[in-house]
Structure 1
Amino acid sequence: MGSSMKSFVRYTAAATVSVAALLAAGAASASSFSLRSGASAEGLGMAFAGAASGGIGMGAMAWNPATITMFPGRNSNWNLTYIAPSASYDPTSPTRVRLPGGGTAPITAVGGSPLGTGEIGGDGAIVSASYSAWQLTDRLWIGMTTGTPYGLRSKPDNQFNAAQIYGRSARVVTFNVSPTIGYQVNDWLAVGAAVQVQYFKTNLKQAAAVTATAPNTILEGDSIDFGYKLGVTLTPWQGTNIGLAYRSMIHHTLEGTFKTPVAVAPILGVGSNPIKANLNLPDSVVFGLSQVINDQWQAHLGIEWTNWSRFRRIPIVASNFGVPFTSLNFQYDDSWFFSAGVEYKYNRDLTLRAGVGYELSAVNDDNRTVFISDNDRLWLSAGLSYQVTNKIKLDLGYTYIHVQNASVNYSGSHPQQGAVLYTAEAKPQVHVVSAGITYRWDDPTETIPVRPVVRKN
């Protein structure tokens, strides 16, 4: 390897200490790396319309803890969801690299690849969610929800690609447990609250240079932190449910390591370095309306606002020195999700449903990274429920998510710009399928003194 080539490899390796990787992966099933679609099979079948008002069954507890009061007796619900995103970033112009002495050169001139990422969705992901509700008195309920509110994983088919210094793979895993309490204040008002206990783990890899044999820099970290949820449901008259809820942000303090093949004296040495990183996962407000039309038809609406603008500059601090050596410079916007759905009770046991949703993404053309193939998206959903016995109900849901074309532009002004000048575009889409089962532990024929409202059977 010539001296100029060695110089360039050292230069690009040092540049990737900017950790231009990401805390998201692939074509996620909601804005940025949110995983709304994994919350409930029944909800998935209506694009989660009416989630805050109890319209999606027990999965509504993930949005509004007050909906726990809508399920008399002792009930549990379990869901398993397969999310299959698909996207590939293909270069839209020749990829060039900045040289240490100034100027640029084609990436192939310094041993780099001209290729795009290839498929970044991989084999998709399976996520689970569960809900339990236990009525203690005619007014008081306790319960718990579990789920995966954020995550997904990504590993490009082309590990040697033109954008590899911006990320070779990403994996984000969360697990959220929320003990929940609900209280029936009177015939038209219920309130609820939940404590969020959330585990967050990430592993981010990016190439230390543009060559095929370039080693990785690896950022790893995890944390357990806390938040809360508050909600109310209103029943102004028979057949109408209104829900409003707030989910707090969760401030995660990640502790882990940053592994680098290049020393950055005096802060980073070759190998593993202990690090800390503080990040704020967003708070949100959700509104829902569920309306009985007649004995066979119900209609549902939903609006959700998520405060993604909290997810901004994330300093990566070298623990041994207590100073940041780089940052993840996200510049997200707030996101909005609008949905509408209907249910048709075909007979005593079978209910059919469908829904549509539209999401205004937190990610835009100025801040999109090479593994976040996210943009505004259209949801088309359908599903069904079947009451097997008076204790067992089965749910199936399917959603196709059409995402607008997503472009990345690392050509000089990107907030995570490195040595490679790279522009590309992806045409993302997501398929989601989910199955759920609800079981009632007590005798459903027993009379329980609760208010007459719209309930999910």
Structure 2
Amino acid sequence: MATAGIGAAVLLAATSGASAGAFLIRSQSAAGFGSALAGVAAGDRLSYSYWNPAVLGTIHDFRVEANAAGIFPSFDIEPDATTNAFVAGAGGTPSGSIDVGKNALVPSSYAAYALTENLTAGLVLSSPFGLASESPNNWAGQIYSRSSEIFSLNVNPMLAYRVNDMLTVGAGVQAQYFKATLSQAAGIEPGAPDAELDANDIGFGFNLGIQLRPWQGTSIGLGYRSSIEHDLEGDLTSPLGRFDVGTTLDTPDVLSLGISQAVSDRMRLLGTVEWDRWSRLDGDLPVAASNGAVLTSLYLDYRDGWLYSVGAEYDASDKLTVRAGIGYERVPLTVENRDTRLPESNQVILSTGLSYKYSNRLSVDLSYLYSFGVGDDRINIQDGNDRFLGQPFSASSELDVSILSAAVSYRFGVAD
């Protein structure tokens, strides 16, 4: 039987998130998800300030907003017959199709206050990066993954200044807590113990934005969220022992361009192009012990991600606005770096939503977003691949994700 000799102290992780490339989370706005995020950097909803701090310039009072997104992913992995035959011959556990996706709840909250006629302050509490996946303890790919958890908390105070009726600029700072816990089997045999990496850090970054209204009915926005360097420290535990370790991970820069164009008094067409600079993670991340010895590496080798979306919103009445959108995402993963933690492929995104204004003070947003994988979805870990741990692993995969989002917004100091 194969034993802990295959990857006993190795944790090689490529991680993925729902409705976003790799472990980026875009579930920050129920209203934005209603239009597949089309036009968010150019919009006027408080939660759109996540993508562009200049959005705060559209707010002239004191308001708060709370969002929550329920994420229901399905990430099916079906090992090939050749993989199962190898695993069975080596004393492991062959397996059919498994679903490694785990449901998650992602909250975010916002506040904005107009300090002067032209200056507005804002605060965003969000989770920009995250992941939750789990596979059976005994399965054909257990030496490549068992469970994956990434958690982040971002605190982002911002300011926006209205230069004139056409131009608003915004800026903010980010303080971000980041934690990763990744495990896989230390051997191929049933009941093999885990090898687990657990590390965390607090890092800092910034965000910038601009919003331009060149003429009546047109808004163009450009928002930028900087990369944040995390010097992760924690421990690596395996049958060989426990080691204090550290590595450095840079989160991607995110650049979002949005446009909103009114086509009537009640209807607006929306568009977004977003660039996610995942190529910052374009190779191995060495995981070193406190004495500097490299114990293993996290092999990522990501390419940049892109999101393209278009949508529309229509004011059905003074109280009700309805939205819909469609998008396409090119994710950072390809067959060269896709693995079993969450085997993401390029995605098509469909969404719909609504906003209802109960009064001048209180309004709610609801949305439903569905994304599904398209194109190449193969996992192929063979000799010569940096992820290879002595066991060839080939599989097909299938992705689909449903996300239900809701938000409540309240304005202070206005009459009902």
Bucket of the pairwise TM-score, normalised by the shorter protein: over 0.9
AA aligned opposite 1:183: Y
- Is structure 2 residue 391 aligned with structure 1 residue 411? no
- In structure 2, the residue matched to 1:328 is 298
Equivalent position to 1:283, from 253, 262, 266: 253
What are the equivalent positions in structure 2 for 1:160-171 lying under 5 Å apart? 160-171=138-149
* 1:52 aligned counterpart, secondary structure: helix
- In structure 2, the residue matched to 1:121 is 101
Which sections of structure 1, spanning at least 5 residues, go unmatched? Answer: 97-104, 263-269, 446-457
- Is structure 2 residue 345 aligned with structure 1 residue 366? no
Aligned-residue offset at 1:110: 2.8
- In structure 2, the residue matched to 1:349 is 319
AA aligned opposite 2:377: A
Aligned-residue offset at 1:159: 2.1
- Is structure 2 residue 108 aligned with structure 1 residue 108? no
- Looking at structure 2, the residues matched to 28 and 394 of structure 1 have their Cα atoms a distance apart, in angstroms, of 24
Q: Deviations over 1:367-396 (max 9, x none)?
A: 001112211101100000000011001100
* 2:48 aligned counterpart, secondary structure: helix
AA aligned opposite 2:264: N
- Looking at structure 1, the residues matched to 4 and 77 of structure 2 have their Cα atoms a distance apart, in angstroms, of 26
- In structure 2, the residue matched to 1:231 is 209
* 1:211 aligned counterpart, secondary structure: coil
Aligned-residue offset at 1:54: 1.6
Equivalent position to 1:249, from 227, 239, 243: 227
Amino-acid identity (%): 37
- In structure 2, the residue matched to 1:451 is none
Q: Which runs of 4+ in 1 moved over 3 A?
A: none
- Contact 1:277–1:314, Cα closer than 8 Å, also in 2: yes
* 2:143 aligned counterpart, secondary structure: helix
Query: How large is the Cα RMSD of the aligned pairs?
Result: 1.5
- Count the aligned residue pairs: 414
AA aligned opposite 2:151: V
Which sections of structure 2, spanning at least 5 residues, go unmatched? Answer: none
Aligned-residue offset at 1:402: 1.1
Equivalent position to 1:436, from 391, 407, 412: 407
Larger Rg: 1
Q: Deviations over 1:136-168 (max 9, x none)?
A: 111111110111111120111x32111100011
Q: Normalising by structure 1, what TM-score?
A: 0.88
AA aligned opposite 1:121: G
- In structure 2, the residue matched to 1:34 is 24
Equivalent position to 1:423, from 394, 397, 410: 394
- Looking at structure 2, the residues matched to 303 and 232 of structure 1 have their Cα atoms a distance apart, in angstroms, of 15
Q: Deviations over 1:196-218 (max 9, x none)?
A: 11110111111000111110011
Aligned-residue offset at 1:21: 3.3
Aligned-residue offset at 1:414: 2.3
Aligned-residue offset at 1:94: 1.5
AA aligned opposite 2:359: T
AA aligned opposite 1:361: V
- Looking at structure 2, the residues matched to 106 and 121 of structure 1 have their Cα atoms a distance apart, in angstroms, of 25
Aligned-residue offset at 1:323: 2.5
- In structure 2, the residue matched to 1:180 is 158
Q: Deviations over 1:69-120 (max 9, x none)?
A: 1112011111010011102210123227xxxxxxxx8322332011146111
- Looking at structure 2, the residues matched to 106 and 49 of structure 1 have their Cα atoms a distance apart, in angstroms, of 47
- Looking at structure 2, the residues matched to 258 and 118 of structure 1 have their Cα atoms a distance apart, in angstroms, of 27
- Looking at structure 2, the residues matched to 325 and 35 of structure 1 have their Cα atoms a distance apart, in angstroms, of 30
- Looking at structure 2, the residues matched to 355 and 309 of structure 1 have their Cα atoms a distance apart, in angstroms, of 28
- Looking at structure 1, the residues matched to 343 and 405 of structure 2 have their Cα atoms a distance apart, in angstroms, of 23
- In structure 2, the residue matched to 1:450 is none
- Is structure 2 residue 1 aligned with structure 1 residue 11? no
